Amino acid sequence: MNERGDFIAASLQGVKERIHIACHKAGRDPMEITLISVTKNFPASDVQILYDLGERNFGENRDQEAREKSAALPSDAIWHFQGHIQSKKLRSITGWADVIHSLDDLSHASKIAGLLLEKSLSVFVQVSLDAPDGGDGRGGVEPARLTEFLRECARLPGLELQGLMAVAPLAHDPAEAFFHLAALRREFAVEFPQLVSLSCGMSGDFEAAIAAGATHIRVGSSILGSR
């Protein structure tokens, strides 16, 4: 492998070791954790390196960039959309994405359902963990609105609710935020048992997310470096 390949192989290995240590501390099985390599801003050749190293889950934030990369990779790669959703991009996004992590608008949910003909799409509902007045613009449904939001989503054909997602608010301790998200999942799983997954944790805070019960961690810079 070339120099870039060596770099990515070593940093991927480092991330996997961190996952194992965090799971050991939390008494969890590393098999419970899906590592999503966040490949936004990096070329398809980097995604191919990760694919050749055995990775299959890739996270992207922008439609056009992801559409091009997904076309260049083997078809068993699993593509996760985790960016801000623009309604006019949804037709394209549903064409390449296997999972959407950032659903926080009911008009988007019904539009997605209308675009899915034969297939279905897994979705995480993004939750805002900020105080309503202290929002830092990271998106998400307010916890107080989650019941209504999930009821509407659960009625839509083709949308497979899979779990809750959050980005730790800048102003709070990420561990506290992730435990809050995990508690919300447990609470809402009573009415929505299909909410089995928890998408949280990035390069700087995924150990805290694993401790709280994350099943999907989204890791970019610790694997690919910064850009």
Ligand X SMILES: *Cc1c(COP(=O)(O)O)cnc(C)c1O
Which listed residue (11, 34, 61, 92) binds ligand X by CB under 6 A? 61
Which listed residue (161, 167, 168, 182) binds ligand X by CB under 6 A? 167
Which listed residue (70, 82, 94, 215) binds ligand X by CB under 6 A? 82
CB atoms within 10 A of CB 190: 8
Does 38 sit near ligand X (CB under 6 A)?
yes
Q: Return d(Cα 74, Cα 44) in angstroms, integer.
A: 11
Does 110 sit near ligand X (CB under 6 A)?
no
Does 97 sit near ligand X (CB under 6 A)?
no
Which listed residue (140, 163, 169, 220) binds ligand X by CB under 6 A? 220
SS3 call for 27: coil
Does 219 sit near ligand X (CB under 6 A)?
yes
Q: Spell out the residues 6+ positions from residue 27 whose beta carbon is closer than 8 angstroms to its own.
A: none
Does 202 sit near ligand X (CB under 6 A)?
yes
- What minimum distance in Å lies between the beta carbon of 114 and ligand X? 25
Q: If 0-12 CB within 10 Å is exposed, 13-18 middle and 19+ buried, where does residue 46 land? A: buried
- What minimum distance in Å lies between the beta carbon of 155 and ligand X? 27
Nearest to 215 by CA among 57, 9, 13: 57
From the list 43-51, 154-162, 168-176, 201-209, the region that binds ligand X by CB under 6 A is 201-209
Q: Spell out the residues 6+ positions from residue 77 whose beta carbon is closer than 8 angstroms to its own.
A: 47, 51, 56, 57, 58, 70
Does 143 sit near ligand X (CB under 6 A)?
no
From the list 23-31, 103-111, 180-188, 214-222, the region that binds ligand X by CB under 6 A is 214-222
Q: Return d(Cα 196, Cα 27) in angstroms, integer.
A: 19
How far CA 209 is from CA of 13, 117, 139, in Å, comes to: 19, 35, 19
Q: Which is nearer to ligand X, 39 or 70 (CB)?
A: 39
Does 218 sit near ligand X (CB under 6 A)?
yes
Which residues contact ligand X by CB under 6 A?
38, 40, 61, 82, 167, 202-204, 218-222
